[in-house]
Structure 1
């Protein structure tokens, strides 16, 4: 940490001379247009200009960190910071870089990278429509229809370019027409081994009452219209804008966050069991189009004696690269938790969150992640029991720069002043130069990623702030001030 007191007297003297010179120049060069023009000028302060002229960029970063240590917003906070040069493998500036801190949604950096590493960026989830039995000369199918799911987290959501339920159903109905099926003497069977454990307990210490609208999947929508799920409003809220919305699946007895509340008892959210809702929508659409189905929609998790089946239609999800992009840009908790379960299933044959955590932790060890201080509890960062050190984050992000999927991973991160959750930060300095994942919980603000400096370097940084005072906007402003001098490194 630089001792900046020795610079103060020199800066003061220079600043005094600068102010005097400015005053004299103004007297000589004054015009009537100046008063109307000066409000539109965006000039740096004289002291800031002098500091920049006589101090190195590293010294300015150190001074910025020292200043923040006494700032009222961060004075009593527990926070850590590090900016790191991936070429020299050296720390440029740091504060509490080895302290385990709550990372909030920067946890998604670990989840999404694990998925890319283990599954590949072109991985897709398949949802297939098949039939058993035979079709007679009258177009009657004497057999069953099968919807084969694979745990597609984007199914029916329109996220990342995914199709809506309506589009998928329409494609399935078109497939039925191509096969000449006019009636079904049988059931519509949902067969998917993935995510059948969605009624399991949520990660420890998940933040329920945050102001943000988080979502975690639970339950099943079999034979239940999600629009009728019970709406719960936090008691004690006077203003409609202060209310926080949740819903309880009537068959799971667990409360989860809704993504949006539109009033009139309509609750819009990603569905807990997408294949079941798709199957019921499909059946209703078939009947509407004059294709009778004599049986019912029923799940079949395991099948000891599988029937011979023929494929009618297959829907492919967006690529994993697309899903990771959407997840990181929008900090989508539902997709992140689904990715966690997907890697668990692919590696351990078990779709639970616990298996996913084991797989992610094992992967991090394999890539030499510094696990000192690491506690990875969920895929999204909702749990306050998640902990990570700033130095482990930057070394992890540095190691990814040699991976074949690095460009895809980097492109998934929000860009300062331009996209995703960073669109309203770094609107001035740093615009288009900060590529980072944000994280926000009550009294937790986090930012970790890459800096493209003015000289063309790529640096890696982590800034985790816990238990701060003041507002979120105040902390975001402090974070910008800490990082802006690093742009000149």
Structure 2
């Protein structure tokens, strides 16, 4: 039996305590000591009645939802909630389930599923080393080396088991050794046409808050309001005339500098160029290893008259399944945006955000996604222009349960109290039973995924809160409290 005292206050049941078994409590008053209150000490007669009363888990879920309507943190917020039974295809409990809300990083649920559906779980990005020309009897290559990329978003990052730049360079040098190349009388050319997957900028109108850090876009801040952003200024020496303006990159968790500061309110920022870094590291290591390179590193988008080339070595990225796991566990924005561009390229031949958006929305429409209230603007969920309804998320997650890639998709989701971005939620009740994607923007907190109930059922849920009062941690506590009785459904 669930202890009713954990879910309602004594005041709400005083008037109807003796008929409580045949009625549903719909209004619960908020106590000022709510945050620190572990349990309620009701008068003895009422306590006796409550303990003898059997309430259904659904009633307890509904009671918690009603409680939150008057909670100071949520009462002025715009929020929605739904618990859905995939067996019966019916809503168990809901509130504002048809309201379009900002989903934040739960948008990645749509992006990663589309990639797995259209590309396949075993899809890999290839980065190849090739050479042109000929090799003489002294091992001199009279020709060029080519690094041919495909927009691998994990290149050199160690993410999802990806190799480091050092490992890739070592493999490339091993390939040259097998070919007998001891000197390169030519250039190292980066074929960059398909490297567009490496992110150059964020979506417009982004003001993202996570762990009290604001993230600026790569590119220029001209289209957003930097007055809302937190600039981090590196302190120069007293003799320095120049100050570099920094921000924390959500892509690689490194400080990235602003190349140009045009005064308030414009900054132009720069991200590391993955293929250029690989090529320059490759050249430097060749020279250090005694393999001379007479030419330079040259990026080339297209080649009207391509040279005849021979493959030396090919580096394969981790599988898409591995990339999706890392993306959802860590809520990696760079990988999510790269997945969006990759599906755009594979379907439409154009590796851009716009093509990716078209492919994702068309895929969702074909799969029967409830398009009412949907506004899909980016792959990561950083844009505040994204919108989706709780019921659409829940039905979408339900529809995936029969897909062949569902197991890997499900396993990519953080687990309450145990892994990823849910490691610090559901540490007590719900530990190991909540499998969901989290989302966080400034004054936006979301959660959507699956519940494994105490009776062994799998339920689907979506909970999105916009424009709340108080801190993120306060909202997390409310979300846990709303979902806690659902574990007994």
Same fold per superposition (TM over 0.5): yes
Give the deviation of 1:203 after TM superposition.
2.0
> Aligned partners of 1:213, 1:321: CA distance in 2, in Å?
30
Check the 8 A contact 1:135/1:181 in 2, yes or no. Answer: yes
> Aligned partners of 2:451, 2:52: CA distance in 1, in Å?
19
Name the CA shift for 1:138/1:257 in 2 (closer, same or farther; >3 Å).
closer
SS of equivalent to 1:435: strand
Check the 8 A contact 2:340/2:353 in 1, yes or no. Answer: yes
> Aligned partners of 1:474, 1:76: CA distance in 2, in Å?
14
Aligned equivalent of 2:231: 234
Name the CA shift for 1:340/1:207 in 2 (closer, same or farther; >3 Å).
same
1:65 lines up with 2:65 in the alignment: yes
Aligned equivalent of 2:263: none
> Aligned partners of 1:473, 1:415: CA distance in 2, in Å?
18
Aligned equivalent of 2:98: 98
Name the CA shift for 1:52/1:363 in 2 (closer, same or farther; >3 Å).
farther
SS of equivalent to 1:454: coil
Aligned equivalent of 2:27: none
Q: Deviation per CA, 1:6-27, whole angstroms, max 9, x where unpaired? A: 9813885799xxxxxxxxxxxx
> Aligned partners of 1:257, 1:163: CA distance in 2, in Å?
17
Name the CA shift for 1:209/1:426 in 2 (closer, same or farther; >3 Å).
closer
> Aligned partners of 1:117, 1:79: CA distance in 2, in Å?
30
Aligned equivalent of 2:373: 373
Give the deviation of 1:197 after TM superposition.
8.4
> Aligned partners of 1:423, 1:52: CA distance in 2, in Å?
36
1:123 lines up with 2:123 in the alignment: yes
Q: Deviation per CA, 1:265-311, whole angstroms, max 9, x where unpaired? A: xxxx9954211110011001101111111111112221222222111
Name the CA shift for 1:262/1:217 in 2 (closer, same or farther; >3 Å).
closer
SS of equivalent to 1:168: helix
> Aligned partners of 1:417, 1:141: CA distance in 2, in Å?
56
Check the 8 A contact 2:232/2:246 in 1, yes or no. Answer: no
Q: Deviation per CA, 1:340-375, whole angstroms, max 9, x where unpaired? A: 111111111111111111111111101011010111
Name the CA shift for 1:68/1:459 in 2 (closer, same or farther; >3 Å).
same
> Aligned partners of 1:52, 1:236: CA distance in 2, in Å?
63
> Aligned partners of 1:175, 1:368: CA distance in 2, in Å?
48
Note the residue ranges of structure 1 that are not aligned, 5 or more in a row. 16-42, 220-231, 239-243, 248-254, 264-268
SS of equivalent to 1:388: coil
Give the deviation of 1:461 after TM superposition.
0.3
Name the CA shift for 1:307/1:207 in 2 (closer, same or farther; >3 Å).
same
Structure 1 length-normalised TM: 0.82
Aligned equivalent of 1:151: 151
> Aligned partners of 1:148, 1:206: CA distance in 2, in Å?
33
Aligned equivalent of 2:326: 326
> Aligned partners of 2:436, 2:270: CA distance in 1, in Å?
26
Check the 8 A contact 1:58/1:486 in 2, yes or no. Answer: yes
Give the deviation of 1:206 after TM superposition.
1.5
> Aligned partners of 1:472, 1:176: CA distance in 2, in Å?
53
Aligned equivalent of 1:203: 203
Check the 8 A contact 1:190/1:299 in 2, yes or no. Answer: yes
> Aligned partners of 1:56, 1:256: CA distance in 2, in Å?
44
SS of equivalent to 2:432: coil
Aligned equivalent of 1:437: 437
1:408-423 equivalences under 5 Å are 408-423=408-423
> Aligned partners of 2:270, 2:399: CA distance in 1, in Å?
34
Aligned equivalent of 1:246: 247
Aligned equivalent of 1:181: 181
SS of equivalent to 2:247: strand
1:87-486 equivalences under 5 Å are 87-196=87-196, 202-207=202-207, 211-212=212-213, 214=215, 234=231, 245-246=246-247, 259-261=253-255, 272-486=272-486
Give the deviation of 1:166 after TM superposition.
0.8
> Aligned partners of 2:315, 2:408: CA distance in 1, in Å?
24
Cα RMSD over matched residues? 3.3
Name the CA shift for 1:341/1:361 in 2 (closer, same or farther; >3 Å).
same
Check the 8 A contact 1:344/1:357 in 2, yes or no. Answer: yes
> Aligned partners of 2:383, 2:101: CA distance in 1, in Å?
12
Give the deviation of 1:261 after TM superposition.
4.1
> Aligned partners of 1:217, 1:118: CA distance in 2, in Å?
28
Aligned equivalent of 1:19: none
Check the 8 A contact 2:256/2:271 in 1, yes or no. Answer: no
Note the residue ranges of structure 2 that are not aligned, 5 or more in a row. 1-7, 21-37, 221-228, 236-244, 258-268
Name the CA shift for 1:199/1:382 in 2 (closer, same or farther; >3 Å).
closer
> Aligned partners of 1:412, 1:59: CA distance in 2, in Å?
32
> Aligned partners of 2:154, 2:19: CA distance in 1, in Å?
60
Name the CA shift for 1:446/1:94 in 2 (closer, same or farther; >3 Å).
same
SS of equivalent to 2:431: coil
